[in-house]
Structure 1
Amino acid sequence: MELSVRNQLKAKVKNVKSNDVSSEVVLDVGGQEMCAVITTGSVKRLGLKVGDDVFALVKATSVMIMK
């Protein structure tokens, strides 16, 4: 599969909190936490669970940088 997303971050699933509609998936990206909110259906379809190796794909029209 080819994707246009250039920001592909290797991550590990650290936690998953789900309700009927949406899920909060906390990822460990090289020691930094990243949180994604996705549908619970997607969590089930992907079979996501704590400890899974995944990629976080980030496509944004706006990125803020702080120094």
Structure 2
Amino acid sequence: MSAMDKIKKMLKGHEDQAGKGVDKAGDMVDDRTQGKYSKHVDTGQDKLKQQFGSDRDPDNPPRS
């Protein structure tokens, strides 16, 4: 089992909190780098949220 699989298993049911943590970490990086890498940070945040499932809107589930 990979490290990402273990993290996903731990975060199961807490996707919203994981998303908030990703946002907070990205904001901290943007602050420390004075926004120099903000596009890269935003891309990383989006990819992490997709991995953890925190980018899903509970009111608008994905279509099959």
TM-score by length of 2: 0.25
The structure with the greater share of residues assigned to strand is 1
The structure with the greater share of residues assigned to helix is 2
TM-score by length of 1: 0.25
